[in-house]
Amino acid sequence: MSLLKKLAGETALYGLSSILGRLLNYVLVPLHVDVFYGFSTAEYGVLTVFFAFAAFLNVIFTYGLETAYFRFASRKDQDPQQVYNLILSQVLLSTLVLGGLGLLLAPWIVEGLQFSGRVQLFRALILIVSIDTLLAIPYARLRQAHKAVFFVSTKIINIGLNVLLNVFFLVFCRNVSEGYWLESWKPLISNIYSPEIGIGYVFLANLLANAFVFVLLYRSFLDFRFYFNWQKLRPMLIYAYPIMLMGLAGMINQMFDKILLQYLLPDNFYAGLTSEDAVGIYSACAKLAIFTTLAIQAFRYAAEPFFFAQAQDKKAPALFAKVMRYFVIVCVLLWLGVSLNIEILKLVFIRNPAYYPALGIVPVLLLGNVFLGIYFNLSVWFKLSEQTYFGTWISVGGALLTVVLSFIFVPLLGYVGSAWIVLLTYFSMSVACYLLGQKHYPIPYHLDSAFAHLGLGAVLIGLSQFFSPERFWMGVLFNFLLLGSYLVYVYLTERGNFRRSSVL
């Protein structure tokens, strides 16, 4: 029992760092899209696409060796320090090669990606990814050593520093430079701030915050000794490369809606807007889906150890089905809560009217995230039955579907097509996972309940959009009543199950 409590405590801490990190980063969205302090829709689009590429580069630069470290450092026939030295040495060598090539070939890469004039931004991105990569293995060793508090502390410091540096450059320095604040400081600030740099300050803030982590983790490098042994490294690479493929497929599912929108949107699809503008508008509105994303992330951290702990119980399938039932209810409640209150949320998080045309995609993206959460819930079967290769194939299938549908629907529907592709991809992955799971590890899910809640949610959102009152507060009241009607439905249909849920 004490081991389970320890695991639960560490899971909660890691979950806290991830959720808090996302929330702190989300604080930057109102700043980056602000009419005065923020960027144009085109600049925000460039920023979004570059950091989407960063997600892919992170997977390529680490190529599964972080997970390989967990696997081999925990084996009894391996010396953990030797494994650490070997993997970190390999990561150091490959990062020098990949990072060096990225810096050297930046002018040609940027031209090929159709981002002319953004060479320095791409080089900054390469440096950010390189630092992330070099820190990945020391961070993995902290987790292996169960130093969760230190792990979380450094993550939060890194994210907090990034936010503070963004505010420093984009708000403080700009106000001083333009004479609004501390005019006597203007000569000093002029040495570090130039309005022409624009989104470059976001990259600089990330780079400085990441570099500071080296200071925080300096002890992890004190006992490092360069070590290379091909015979010992080879099985680690063989173990790692399928993980890299799965990671790349997952990144395609998560990021390609923004990247492909950049390249597949026809010229003048939106009057007066470039493809960069469209990506910026789409990405800013897509950030409102963070509420379901956070819920899913918290669920993953809490549920995975729970599922494994209950796996040997004969009643586990029925228990898993009940967890899914309540999970769907919570997700639909979040889906409705955000979708029915977009008019309020946009005033808090997206205060620039230039981004409002894409708000209609938010309910679609939220529902896509709901199905992503359902997929994670369903995936318990191949994790418990040790058939994780099914997860790889489903992820690859989802990635291929994303790419194929993007070529079909983005030229026809623009960013509306991108949103529906997210929904269709995660829905298809959920269906595939369910059908395979029922064959290999049957779980008696309550499909009638899930479809009823999802269907009612769709009807209520449709009513909100069809009967939207002209007066703002009348609309708020109407949407509040719709949300209340769903809560009443949940109470009437689930009260008996709630009373019998003591088994959970």
Does 207 or 79 have the greater pLDDT score? 207
Question: To 10 degrees, what angle do helices 230-264 and 65-73 make?
Answer: 150
**Where are any strands of DSSP class E within 65-159?**
none
Examine residue 471 and state whether it is found in any structural domain, yes or no.
Answer: yes
Of the spans 100-104, 141-145, 180-184, 462-466, which averages the highest pLDDT?
100-104
The answer to which of 5-19, 269-283, 371-385 has the lowest mean pLDDT is 5-19
Question: 382-399 burial, b if ≥16 CB within 10 A, otherwise e?
Answer: bbbeeeeebbbebbbbbb
Structure tokens belonging to residue 313: 């119980």
Phi and psi at 312, nearest 5°, equal -85, -10
Examine residue 489 and state whether it is found in any structural domain, yes or no.
Answer: yes
Q: Residue 503 pLDDT more than 60?
A: no
Name the residue among 65, 3, 75 with its Cα closest to residue 308.
3
What distance in Å separates the CA atoms of residue 499 and residue 504, rounded to the nearest whole number?
Answer: 11
Count other C-beta atoms under 10 Å from residue 364's C-beta.
Answer: 20
CB 55 within 8 A of CB 48: no
What distance, in Å, lies between the first and last C-alpha atoms of the chain? 17
Q: Residue 232 pLDDT more than 70?
A: yes
Examine residue 108 and state whether it is found in any structural domain, yes or no.
Answer: no
User: What is the total residue count of the chain?
Assistant: 504
Average pLDDT taken over every residue of the chain: 85
Q: Among the residues of 441-471, which ranges form H helices?
A: 447-466
CB 415 within 8 A of CB 361: yes
Q: What is the pLDDT of residue 411?
A: 94
Q: Residue 24 pLDDT more than 80?
A: no
Side-chain-side CA neighbours of 112 within 13 Å: the count stands at: 6
Q: Is the dihedral of CA 148, 153, 156, 159 positive or negative?
A: negative
Side-chain-side CA neighbours of 501 within 13 Å: the count stands at: 14
Examine residue 499 and state whether it is found in any structural domain, yes or no.
Answer: yes
Q: What is the pLDDT of residue 499?
A: 56
Domain range spanning residue 362?
Answer: 33-38+264-504
**pLDDT > 90 fraction of the chain, expressed in percent and rounded:** 39
Examine residue 156 and state whether it is found in any structural domain, yes or no.
Answer: no
Q: Among the residues of 226-274, which ranges form H helices?
A: 230-264
Structure tokens belonging to residue 222: 């004190």
Structure tokens belonging to residue 107: 């002018």
What distance in Å separates the CA atoms of residue 231 and residue 350, rounded to the nearest whole number?
Answer: 54
Q: Residue 418 pLDDT more than 90?
A: yes
Phi-psi region of 268 (alpha: psi -120 to 50; beta: other; left: phi over 0): left
Structure confidence at residue 155 as a pLDDT band (50, 70, 90) = confident
CB 419 within 8 A of CB 257: yes
For the stretch 274-325, pLDDT in tens is 898 999 999 888 888 877 877 777 676 566 556 766 767 778 888 888 889 9
341: three-class secondary structure by DSSP: coil
CB 257 within 8 A of CB 402: yes
**pLDDT > 70 fraction of the chain, expressed in percent and rounded:** 90
CB 329 within 8 A of CB 495: no
Q: What is the pLDDT of residue 10?
A: 56
Side-chain-side CA neighbours of 5 within 13 Å: the count stands at: 2
The answer to which of 190-204, 327-341, 343-357, 431-445 has the lowest mean pLDDT is 343-357
Contacts of 439 (CB under 8 A, 6+ apart): none
Of the spans 257-261, 312-316, 397-401, which averages the highest pLDDT?
397-401
Does 161 or 473 have the greater pLDDT score? 161
Structure confidence at residue 500 as a pLDDT band (50, 70, 90) = low
Domain count for the chain, please give it. Answer: 1
Examine residue 128 and state whether it is found in any structural domain, yes or no.
Answer: no
Q: What is the pLDDT of residue 376?
A: 86
Structure confidence at residue 38 as a pLDDT band (50, 70, 90) = confident
Q: Residue 366 pLDDT more than 90?
A: yes
Q: What is the pLDDT of residue 384?
A: 73
Side-chain-side CA neighbours of 347 within 13 Å: the count stands at: 4
Element (H, E) at 132: helix 119-144
Name the residue among 420, 416, 445 with its Cα closest to residue 433.
445
Q: What is the pLDDT of residue 494?
A: 82
Examine residue 228 and state whether it is found in any structural domain, yes or no.
Answer: no
The Cα diameter of the chain in Å comes to 73
Question: 428-458 burial, b if ≥16 CB within 10 A, otherwise e?
Answer: bbbebbbebbeeebebebeeebbeebbebbb
For the stretch 74-127, pLDDT in tens is 777 778 889 899 999 999 999 999 999 999 999 999 998 888 889 999 999 999
Q: Residue 168 pLDDT more than 80?
A: yes
Does 260 or 385 have the greater pLDDT score? 260
Examine residue 189 and state whether it is found in any structural domain, yes or no.
Answer: no
What distance in Å separates the CA atoms of residue 456 and residue 252, rounded to the nearest whole number?
Answer: 31
Does 388 or 379 have the greater pLDDT score? 379
